[in-house]
Amino acid sequence: MSVQDQLQATVEALVQGGKGILAADESSPTIAKRFAAINVESTEENRRGYRSLVLETPDLGKFINGVILFEETLGQTGRDGVALPEIAERQGIVPGIKVDQGKVALANAPGDEITRGLDGLEQRLDGYIAQGARFAKWRCVYHIDHHTPGRLAIAQNANVLASYAAICQSKGVVPIVEPEVLIDGDHTIERCADVAQEVLHSVFHALHQHRVMLEAMLLKPSMVTPGNAHAGKATPEQVADWTLKVFQRVVPAAVPGINFLSGGQTPVEATENLNAINCMTTRPWNLSFSYGRALQEPALKTWQGLAGNTAAAQAALYHRAKMNGLATLGAYTPDMESDAME
């Protein structure tokens, strides 16, 4: 199979209607925080047990078509000794991998950050591919404040995202490009829209310069929302209106799919907002989700690190996946939250 055919097959698998991507790529410090909240020690065995629980959730592939894994997870096995990426594949879920190596302060740009990890990326991808990964993810973050994000941060992060995407495609790996405009702050939804538009414009300019095939990538952006410390809360309809207004201005129709991150929204908020977006006017992209905490939080709280809670935790994860699957079709209603988990 040619590189182009590999890319096309993976993209088609990741933009199936009614499904989305599970972000299970928490770094070691992040999953330690998640476990600490439920009084579970972040040992390798506990992490393996939890990730096995997630990927072995019965029928998860009905609503999840891809899973982003952390590097450690690619080499781990489930309870029966089968590699976790293979367990995902058996469910019809495409395994992917987070390839960035975290963010650091951007020199001469107070308050701004840049993501690192380009050095050695080609070689690391060879190893990830051998372990079953078919797509990758790279996250850059943008802080909204009085003076951030600055032009330097917007330009440099766009260039990093485009470089990563080009390297991935050269290896037959579909890149997920994630420019996250952070929800932290007291900014208005209008200010968020301005920043999101500038960020996305810069990202796609850089992607064009690096000759990235837009048809063979996915975009993982933030929704346009007010800051989490802003006095006024936006309705799902307002979030949908502002989000689509910005995206229709700057995201090319050639991009096959937009998988929104939840970015600090509660599980139900993320579902309601996604549903409202999919109830809006027609658009050229498949609009779906790539949620981490908004999918997993109920399952983690139910699990509590206890083997006896496995089935209930899996039911909680399945329920959230189902709700978001319906939201990708604009078919979710809040009263479904009280329905029995099936």
Pairing label, strands 103-105, 113-115: antiparallel
pLDDT band at 338 (very low <50, low <70, confident <90, very high): confident
- Of the residues 56, 71, 113, 178, only one is catalytic, namely 178
* Predicted pLDDT at 232: 85
Mean pLDDT of 117-139: 97
List the catalytic residue out of 98, 137, 220, 322. 220
Model pLDDT for residues 136-156, shown as the tens digit of each residue: 999 999 999 989 999 999 999
Q: Is the pLDDT of residue 46 over 50?
A: yes
> What's the whole-number average pLDDT of the chain?
96
pLDDT at 121 (0 to 100): 98
Active site residue 220: yes
Share of the chain above pLDDT 90, in %: 94
Q: How far apart are CA 225 and CA 238, in angstroms?
A: 8
Catalytic: 178?
yes
Q: 66: domain CATH number? A: 3.20.20.70
pLDDT at 339: 59
Model pLDDT for residues 236-250, shown as the tens digit of each residue: 999 999 999 999 999
pLDDT at 269 over 60: yes
Whole-number pLDDT of residue 342: 43
21-44 tens-digit pLDDT: 999 999 989 999 999 999 999 999
- Domain residues for the domain of 52 are 3-338
Query: Over 90: is that where the pLDDT of 58 sits?
Result: yes
Strands 218-219 and 257-260: parallel
- For residue 221, whether the previous peptide bond is cis, meaning omega lies within 30 degrees of 0, is no
Quote the strand ranges of the chain, DSSP E: 20-24, 64-69, 94-98, 103-105, 113-115, 135-142, 174-181, 218-219, 257-260, 286-291
**226 pLDDT higher than 60:** yes
**pLDDT tens string 176-208:** 999 999 999 999 999 999 999 999 999 999 999
127's CB contacts (< 8 A; 6+ apart) are none
Nearest to 116 by CA among 99, 97, 135, 137: 99
- Cβ 167 vs Cβ 125: under 8 Å: yes
* Percent of the chain surpassing pLDDT 70: 99
* 65-110: pLDDT as tens digits: 999 999 999 999 988 889 999 999 999 999 999 999 999 999 999 9
The β-bridge relationship of strands 286-291 and 135-142 is unpaired
Q: How many domains does the chain have?
A: 1
pLDDT at 337 over 80: yes
